[in-house]
Chains A and B, each alone.
Chain A
Amino acid sequence: MAASLVNNAQHRLRRLAREFRFRLNGWTVAAVLLGLFLFLPMAEVLWHITSPAENWEHLRDTVLGRYLKGSAILVVGTAGLSLLLGVSTAWLVACCEFPGRRFFEWALILPLAIPTYIAAFAYFDLLDRLTPLLIWVRTNISPEAMTWLSDMMVYPVTTVVLAAVLYPYVYLVARAAFSRQGSRFAEAAQTLGHGPQSVFWYVALPLARPAIISGLALVIMETLNDYGAVKHFGVPTFTTGIFRTWVSMGDLPGALRLAACLMVLILFLLLLEKWLRFGAKFHKTSPSDRPFQRYPLGQAKAGLALLCCLVPLVIGFALPLSRLAYWASLTAGKVLDATFLKLTLNSIGVATATGLATVMIALFLAFTARYFGSQAAGATNRLAILGYAVPGAVIAMGVLLVAGQVTQATGWILTGSLAVLVLCYVIRFLAVAWQPIDAGMERNCAQLNQASKTLGATPARSLFHVNVPLLRNALVAGGLFVFVDTMKELPLTLILRPAEFETLSTKTYDLVFQSQIPESSVPALCIILVSLLPVIWLNRQMRAPEQ
């Protein structure tokens, strides 16, 4: 009896050892190390929450509250407005029929091509145009009222500008969710006595909640990451506070402390998002085989729907684009020259390199974790993709810290190299490529990987001959998204760019910095134009039936 128990135990141990050996191999070790390496700059910043910062008490007592308040108001406002714009347009486009619906279905995504700082620059004089109103208030009401109004005005203005270009994040996921639901639940609700409005509030919206929350999370992270818009309109946020503490006070430790606080806040928001998305498994609806029968809208309602879709499109795309185009037509001759071509190529080159690198790394990390069932690799993967939630400036600070330590230890200069810049982009945007690839793997490859394992194929063979062909769409989508995001990126590039290396985004910022706003429209337009093509392609891909 005892002998058989011992035998069992031995058998178990041997099996565990075999599994462990299977999991512990070149692939998994490399993946874990790579994941940790990518997380290192963020860890450096986080670590600073414990490091001594002499200014901290002063910061805490004077400005911390202001940054917190400013960030909070801005985030709540932008998220709220994006929610309103994104969900309403998604519902109209997915579930109602009105003239022009097909056009809006793809057009509503266009604002994604406009980065937040360019939107702010396109509306740079928005606050100034309200000056007559302020003067009127000052003469007819009181100077105190004018002061109050001029101080409060920044929030709505910045919120509208940001939400106008960020709402597509919510629009995309909400539209997909509403389409996926199909007609089943709407019809069931109707037979239970609920009209279309009731169906929307009590059925469609709750079912789409997890998807909408994930879209909102993206909006919030982009809002916290923005530096150009909040600086221009004068909204005190964490990001401007970090820069101010670092730049103005020359207090790097203090700035790092603030950055660490911001990271903690973001981690908290991520947890909150997970909690709000709870029950997502309850929302797994198999796609309906009956396509949704859209509600036809009568004339008045159709007109309202058109207006509803037109407003975000105009504010978020048509108006900024036309202003930029007008300025560009005036200044193009002055700005377009040989160096301009060079910096355009720089932008495209670096974005392409980042796209390729990110896709390859994401593929490797996702594959290794799944194929070998390695929990360690899975954990380090989750760490590695946190970069998307962290503002670019903070990542740059972390990388500078690490680079400084390396320089001290080895004498190599890492700052100012293109490779480090691309590495930084990779850290920042890894999640963007990882998400579709990992989701695609989960959907399509799990069983096939099992099969190929039992057939004795090497991991490399499985990767290249099984997974890659199946994941083609996800790979291209991931790469394109990263490409667009890198083209738009600003704060990180400003900090880490090598000598004589300009990109379209840094050129835009430089020109605005010199108050040459009309001239800045030329590189800004280039960014938008290049970003448009992938955005449209992606939109078409998302509408095509999945294979």
Chain B
Amino acid sequence: MKKFLKSFLALGLLAGATASAAELTVYSHRHYDSDAVLFKQFTEETGIKVNVVKGSADQLIQRLASEGKNSPADVLLTVDAGRLHRAKAAGVLQPVKSKALAKNVPASMRDPEGHWYGMTVRSRVIVYAKDRVKPGTLSTYEALAKPEWKGRVVARSSSNIYNQSLLASIIAANGSDKALAWAKAIRKNMARSPRGSDRDQARAVAAGLADVAIMNTYYLGILANSSVAADREVAAKVGVFFPNQDGRGAHINVSGGGVAVGSKNKKEAIRFLEFLTSAKSQETFGNVNHEYPVIIGNNKSELLKSWGSFKADDVNLSVLGAKNAEAVKLFDLAGWE
């Protein structure tokens, strides 16, 4: 009886193994056209089919956690480092190493133990109204907290991960007390309570509701290339300012991924990550999605070039995840909804 079961199991595993040899299951938070294009390219190049399960990163992480080792997922892709860190903390990723990955991804943009690797970069910058603000009056994130900016700032909700990561980087740089004071002051300086998406902040600045906004470069790119004329006008009315250039550098965040702990296709998964961080894919991200490559200097997109080069904060991005919970708490205490 036992023998029969064993051979049966073996057959099953074999069947499973051969069946999945040509497939990767990717749990992804990213919903972009660039991704669809790249996945297709990957399949064409390698013959490995890519199945995508879309969802919000946290739900995906939750699902991975409850599925455990039996999960069909091979790769997890998110749009920010905070969640990558969370995924690692939840134990749903396994450490992987490869020469190509080490070469493609700078040290500050990957997990030290290899649980996750960044693949695109976005910077959270200060966007200002060209006709009302002289770039010379801007300097750092911290300076926006000063009283002269009262009623002139807009930003989105603190429930958005990008804001949380920004605050996490400020906690890492200045400490919790100063970070809380900063959040409180910025909230007081807001022209209206946090609402809408990053693009809505740009629109508010263009409309005259506020003079400056805190938002991601990537969204400005979307506006500038939008098919809607009104969006393009908005993009034309605002300028991009990279803060803290004399100090630690502008805050950046990465989109990235890792290999799921229960993956049965580890080799293929690593190949997939290598593909995404390869120079060609990085160029696609830049042109189609207006995201910076992980080696920022390699940027080939004209639009991104037009914003100028900048110094990026080179703190290891795992700190964004590590300080995320505290960042949310501080936001709550600061009354930044």
Q: Does B233 sit at the interface, judged by CB under 8 A?
A: no
Interface hit among B108-116, B176-184, B250-258, B328-336:
B328-336
Please, which residues of chain B bring their CB within 8 A of the CB of A513?
A: 31
- Neighbouring A residues of B67 by C-beta, 8 Å: 407, 413, 415-416
Q: Determine the chain B residues whose CB is within 8 A of the CB of A514 once the complex forms.
A: 31-32
State whether the Cβ of A286 lies closer than 8 Å to any Cβ in chain B: no
* Chain B residues with CB below 8 A from A240, complex form: 159
Contacts of B203 in A (CB 8 A): 128
Q: Judge if A510 is at the interface, Cβ distance under 8 Å.
A: yes
Task: Write out the residue numbers on chain A whose beta carbons fall within 8 Å of the beta carbon of B147.
Answer: none
Interface string of A240-271 (1 = CB under 8 A from B): 10011011111110000000000000000000
B193 CB within 8 Å of chain A: yes
Interface flag for A58 (CB, 8 Å) = yes
* B51 lies within 8 A of A500 (CB): yes
Give the residue of A62, A134, A416, A500 whose beta carbon is less than 8 angstroms from that of B52: A500
Q: Which of A58, A240, A250, A499 counts the most chain B CB atoms within 10 A?
A: A250
* B62 beta carbon closer than 8 Å to chain A: yes
Bound together, the chains give a CA A138 to CA B31 distance in angstroms of 38
A131 sits at the interface (CB 8 A):
yes
Question: Nearest CB to that of B68 among chain A residues?
Answer: A407
B161/A248 in contact, CB under 8 A: yes
- Nearest chain A CB to B322 CB, angstrom units: 12
Does A234 lie at the interface of the complex (its beta carbon under 8 Å from any beta carbon of B)? yes
A50 at interface, CB cutoff 8 A: no
- In the complex formed, the residue of B with least CB distance to A232 is B196
Could you mark each residue 117-147 of chain B with 1 if its beta carbon is under 8 Å from any beta carbon of chain A, else 0?
0000000000000000000000000000000
Contact status B208-A400, CB under 8 Å: no
Q: Is the CB of B192 within 8 A of A248?
A: no
Cβ-based interface call for A66 (8 A): yes
Q: Is the CB of B151 within 8 A of A143?
A: yes
Would A147 and B191 count as touching, CB distance under 8 A?
A: yes
Inter-subunit contact B66/A134 (CB<8 Å): no
Evaluate contact between B159 and A247: CB separation under 8 angstroms.
Answer: yes
Chain A residue at minimal CB-CB distance from B161: A248
A154 at the interface (CB under 8 A from B): yes
Alpha-carbon distance A62/B164, docked complex (angstroms): 17
Q: At the interface, yes or no: B40 with Cβ under 8 Å from chain A?
A: no
Give Cα A515–Cα B216 distance, bound, in whole angstroms.
15
Evaluate contact between B55 and A146: CB separation under 8 angstroms. Answer: no
User: In the assembly, what is the distance between CA of A415 and CA of B200, in Å?
Assistant: 35
**In the complex, chain B residues whose CB is within 8 Å of the CB of A62:** 332-333
Interface residues of A in 140-176 (CB under 8 A from B): 143-144, 146-147, 150-151, 154
User: Which chain A residues (201-259) contact chain B, with CB distance < 8 Å?
Assistant: 233-234, 236, 240, 243-244, 246-252
Q: Beta-carbon contacts of A6-29 to B below 8 Å, as 1s and 0s?
A: 000000000000000000000000
> Which A residues lie within 8 Å of B97 (CB)?
none
A151-B192, A407-B68, A413-B70 in contact; A515/B56 too (CB < 8 A)? no
Residues A416 and B72 in contact, CB atoms below 8 Å apart:
yes
- Given contacts A250-B325, A415-B67, are A515 and B72 in contact (CB under 8 A)? no
Residues of A within 8 A of B290 (CB): none
Tell me if B209 and A131 are in contact (CB < 8 A).
yes
Q: Is the CB of B337 within 8 A of A249?
A: no
Q: Is B207 an interface residue (CB 8 A)?
A: yes
Closest Cβ of chain A to B209, distance in Å, is 6
* 0 or 1 for each of A398-430: is its CB under 8 Å from B? (1 = yes): 001001100110011101100000000000000
User: Which residue of B is nearest A403, CB measured?
Assistant: B66
The answer, yes or no, to whether B59 is at the interface (CB within 8 Å) is: yes
A63 proximity list for chain B (CB < 8 A):
332
Question: Bound state CA distance, A415 and B86, in angstroms?
Answer: 20
A residues within 8 A CB of B71? 413
A447 to B72, CA, bound (A): 54
Which chain A residues border B332 with CB–CB below 8 Å? 58-59, 62-63
Q: Given the complex of chains A and B, what is the CA–CA distance between A108 and B21 in angstroms? A: 56
Q: Size of chain A's interface in residues, with CB distance under 8 A?
A: 53
B53 within 8 A of A: yes
Chain A nearest CB, measured from B14 CB (Å): 19
CB closest residue in chain A, given B231: A515
CA distance A457 to B283 in the complex (A): 75
Question: For A404, what are the chain B residues with a Cβ–Cβ distance below 8 Å?
Answer: 65-66
B265 CB within 8 Å of chain A: no
* Contact residues in B for A515 (Cβ distance below 8 Å): 197, 199, 222
- A154 near B195: Cβ-Cβ < 8 Å: yes
Question: Given the complex, which residues of B lie within 8 Å of A107, measured CB to CB?
Answer: none
B314 within 8 A of A: no
Task: Give chain B residues whose Cβ lies under 8 Å from the Cβ of A154.
Answer: 195
Within B1-60, the residues touching A (CB, 8 Å) are 25, 31-32, 51-56, 58-59
Task: Encode contact with A along B55-99: 1 for CB under 8 Å, 0 otherwise.
Answer: 110110111011110111000000000000010000000000000
- A236→B333 CA distance, assembly (Å): 16
Minimum Cβ distance to chain B for residue A73 (Å): 14
Q: Hey, what's the 0/1 contact readout for B142-164 against A, CB within 8 Å counting as 1? A: 00000000110000011111001
Asked if A497 is at the interface (CB within 8 A of a chain B CB), the reply is yes
- Known contacts A62-B333, A131-B209, A234-B196; decide if A252 and B72 are in contact (CB<8 Å): no
A415 touches B328 (CB 8 A): no
Q: A374-417 CB contact bits vs B (8 Å, 1 = yes)?
A: 00000000000000000000000000100110011001110110
Q: Is the CB of B56 within 8 A of A494?
A: yes
Evaluate contact between B86 and A250: CB separation under 8 angstroms.
yes
B192 touches A150 (CB 8 A): yes
In the complex, the answer to whether B55 meets A131 with C-beta atoms within 8 Å is no
Question: Which among B55, B68, B70 is the interface contact of A494 at CB below 8 angstroms?
Answer: B55
Q: Is B324 an interface residue (CB 8 A)?
A: yes
Does B208 lie within 8 Å of A135, measured CB to CB? yes
Give the residue name and chain of the B residue nearest to A506 (CB).
B54
Scoring B residues 310 to 321 as 1 if CB is less than 8 Å from chain A, else 0, what string do you get? Answer: 000000000000
Interface: A30 (CB within 8 A): no
Q: Which 5 A-B pairs have the closest CB atoms?
A: A404-B66, A234-B195, A62-B332, A150-B192, A143-B151
Beyond contacts A62-B333, A247-B58, A499-B53: 17 other A-B pairs, Cβ-Cβ < 8 A, are A146-B192, A147-B191, A233-B195, A234-B157, A248-B159, A248-B161, A249-B328, A250-B86, A250-B325, A407-B70, A415-B67, A416-B72, A494-B55, A495-B55, A499-B51, A499-B52, A513-B31
B residues apposed to A, CB below 8 Å: 25, 31-32, 51-56, 58-59, 61-63, 65-68, 70-72, 86, 150-151, 157-161, 164, 190-197, 199-200, 203-204, 207-209, 222, 324-325, 328-329, 332-333, 337
For this complex, 20 residue pairs linking A to B, each with C-beta atoms less than 8 Å apart, are A58-B329, A58-B332, A128-B200, A144-B151, A146-B209, A147-B190, A147-B193, A150-B193, A234-B194, A248-B161, A249-B325, A250-B324, A251-B325, A403-B66, A407-B70, A413-B70, A413-B71, A415-B67, A495-B55, A500-B51
